[in-house]
Amino acid sequence: MPTWIIILLAVNTLFLVVLLTRELMHQKDLERVERLVREEMAGHRQESTGKLDAFSQQIFTLTQINEQKLEKIRDVVETRLQALQEDNSRKLEKMRETVDEKLHSTLEKRLGESFKIVSERLEKVHEGLGEMQSLATGVGDLKKVLTNVKTRGTWGEIQLGNLLEQVLTQEQYERNVVTKQGSREPVEFAIKLPGRDGKVVYIPIDAKFPKEDYDRLLEAQDKSDAAAIEESVKAIENRIKLEAKKIRDKYIDPPQTTDFAIMYLPIEGLYAEVLRRPGLHEQLQRDFRVSIAGPTTITAHLNALQMGFRTLAVEKRASEVWQLLGAVRNEFIKFGDILDKTQTRLKQASEEIESAARKSRTIERKLKDVQELPVSPAGGPAAHKSPEDSAGDTSGKPNFLEDRSEDASRQPVDDDTLFA
């Protein structure tokens, strides 16, 4: 066996011996410590027991004291709570009474206002119901009226008359006039157009309202019945053609009238249905010489006619305007001649006034010279006058005035030459 192994075993053995020794010593220390701990714990237990007894006694005493204090606190709290409850009850009672009073007054006020509003609304509803009842009665009466063919025609005639009154004047159309010679059928309205030789040419306008056929069409459209719709539309088409033929035969008579007439349909829906039929409007114009018009298009027709009336009036007054302008031109020429003569006379008068002013200035200069003549010591005339002139001059006038008076009967003397 090698030496190092032996040494290693010896070292291990020695290490184990040391460990065992230390373990034995440790066990002895543990036993001693345990014995000391047991003794210490026994002493502490006795001491703790005494302290616990004293502490228990103190706790019991404190518990009794706390119970007494808590009892007193409980009594005080109960007393305070009872007083607080009583106070709160009194306050709550007062608050309840106040709230009840205010709530009662507010509720009565609100209820009164609400009942008042409801009463007013009910009165309005009652009035509205009365108006609706009156309206329903009126609608029923209107329906009864419209069931009569003559009345429906009168309604369309009234509507057409109102439109004519709004656009045209009373002189531009006539009511219930016979437009065809040898006929006794008057047309409802005829618009007057100026013709040749001062004669009047009429445009017949007649209102038609096939209500039964149109009501059947509306009813079929509400039910979405295609067959009934087509049947009603055909009935309306036939009725319109029949009425157009009557208008042509009764009212159209050129040259007393135009070669066409106007059929007025008082409902836009009926007018739209007639226009919706393909070729119907063109056929009426081609075969019957009748043009269809509704409440809106009739206004356009009337406005166009109104513009024609205005154009004719302007043309009619054009010749009068030219004659008036010619007369004004002649008078203006005469007025120009008068102005020229007046200007010449004013120029002569101005020249004469200037000449008179010039003479007046000359006379003023001479009169000023006369005032500045020298006077003799005796108070007589100037010394340069001869004795003969002084004897013959009793008025003291200058010689040139005397010479002028003597020669005035022979020839006129110019003052400018005289005073030069």
The token duo for 37 is: 């701990």
Q: How many C-beta atoms surround the C-beta of residue 273 within 10 A?
A: 22
- Domain residue spans in the chain? 151-295, 318-370, 386-420
Which residue has 């053995």 as its token pair?
A: 13
pLDDT in tens, 219-268: 888 888 888 888 888 988 899 999 999 999 899 988 888 888 999 988 88
Residue 194 has a pLDDT of: 77
Residue 212 has a pLDDT of: 82
The alpha helices in 266-296, defined as continuous H runs, are: 268-276, 280-287
Q: Are strands 173-177 and 200-207 parallel, antiparallel or unpaired?
A: unpaired
Residue 310 has a pLDDT of: 67
3-state secondary structure of 207: strand
Backbone φ, ψ for residue 380 (5° rounding): -85, -170
How wide is the angle at C-alpha 249 spanned by C-alphas 244 and 254, nearest 5°?
Answer: 110
> pLDDT tens per residue, the chain (420 residues)?
567 777 777 777 777 777 777 777 777 777 777 788 777 777 777 777 777 777 788 888 888 888 888 888 888 888 888 888 888 888 888 888 888 888 788 878 888 888 888 888 888 887 877 777 777 766 665 555 445 444 445 667 888 888 888 888 888 889 888 888 888 888 889 988 877 777 888 889 998 888 788 888 888 888 888 888 888 889 888 999 999 999 998 999 888 888 889 999 888 888 888 888 888 889 888 999 998 888 888 888 888 777 776 676 666 666 677 777 777 778 878 877 888 888 888 888 888 888 888 888 888 887 777 665 555 444 444 444 444 444 344 444 444 344 444 444 444 444 444 343
Residues 193/203, Cβ–Cβ less than 8 Å: yes
Give the whole-angstrom CA distance, residue 177 versus residue 182: 13
Give the whole-angstrom CA distance, residue 188 versus residue 203: 11
Query: The dihedral of CA 261, 265, 269, 274: what is its sign?
Result: negative
Residue 127 has a pLDDT of: 82
Residues 179/202, Cβ–Cβ less than 8 Å: yes
**Cβ neighbours for 160, distance < 8 A, ≥ 6 positions apart:** 188, 189, 205, 207, 264, 266, 298
Q: Which amino acid is at 241?
A: K
Q: Name the pTM for this structure.
A: 0.42
Residue 388 has a pLDDT of: 42
Residue 412 has a pLDDT of: 46
Residue 314 has a pLDDT of: 65
Residue 313 has a pLDDT of: 62
pLDDT in tens, 349-387: 888 888 888 888 888 887 777 665 555 444 444 444 444
